[in-house]
Structure 1
């Protein structure tokens, strides 16, 4: 199950804070145009989808992400590579490096990672 954009925003709060009430998530999102009930409804939908789990033992329910950030990143990246880059990881990497201001430190880390991959 791939989260929507709004669900991703909520998951990012939960990944950062580990677990939160709906009120804490809503305040962290800091969106003036989104009401508390919208955040609540989204989190209820996410619970039904299995994206979050809820501890109902206290007065205010506490939510925790049920999928890791790494799982989500991998899922989105795999889908993007397949659909946008026709399964070519190298095309993705070349596009990313060609359209951003990659620092010397980032390039060094990429080189080191590539060398590690080549050795294994």
Structure 2
């Protein structure tokens, strides 16, 4: 997959806002702030606005200025961003081994029984294909 070196890797806070925008779709700062408040009560509107402006300046967000309230959307879809972050994690934390990443994830308590069953189905289907 070709990488766009001009779009930087998002920080943790930026990734949180990207997740919100991927879920909501193109949104105003007010809409994003309302959603963020549901998840993190007390987050200030000015903080959300400033972070979105910074993200726009970095190229992480696109902004439609045709309406009175600007509408923001992610510059990239969720999957390419996640893939890029995953590639970086595999290189940095697992010495380039995808297998070690998967085994570490499966050993953790964060993977539910339902998720394990889904993984097993995926592996069986890919083996049978």
TM class by smaller structure: 0.7 to 0.9
Is 1:82 aligned to residue 82 of structure 2? no
Contact 2:36/2:43, CA 8 A, preserved across alignment: no
Taking the aligned partners of 1:38 and 1:44, their CA distance within structure 2 comes to 10
Is 1:107 aligned to residue 127 of structure 2? no
Structure 2 counterparts to residues 90-101 of structure 1, below 5 A: 90-100=99-109
Taking the aligned partners of 2:114 and 2:82, their CA distance within structure 1 comes to 22
Is 1:27 aligned to residue 34 of structure 2? yes
Give 2:11's aligned residue: 4
1:20 alignment partner, SS class: coil
Taking the aligned partners of 1:59 and 1:96, their CA distance within structure 2 comes to 45
TM-score (norm 1): 0.87
Structure 2 spans left out of the alignment, 5+ residues: 1-7
Task: Report how far residue 26 of structure 1 moved.
Answer: 1.2
Give 2:25's aligned residue: 18
Taking the aligned partners of 1:32 and 1:102, their CA distance within structure 2 comes to 28
- Cα deviation code 1:60-108 (max 9, x no counterpart): 0011111111111111111110000001111111111111254443233
Structure 2 counterparts to residues 41-60 of structure 1, below 5 A: 41-60=50-69
Taking the aligned partners of 1:22 and 1:7, their CA distance within structure 2 comes to 14
Give the 3 Å change call, closer, same or farther, for CA 37–102 of structure 1 in structure 2.
closer
- RMSD of aligned Cα (Å): 1.8
Structure 1 spans left out of the alignment, 5+ residues: none
Contact 2:105/2:111, CA 8 A, preserved across alignment: no
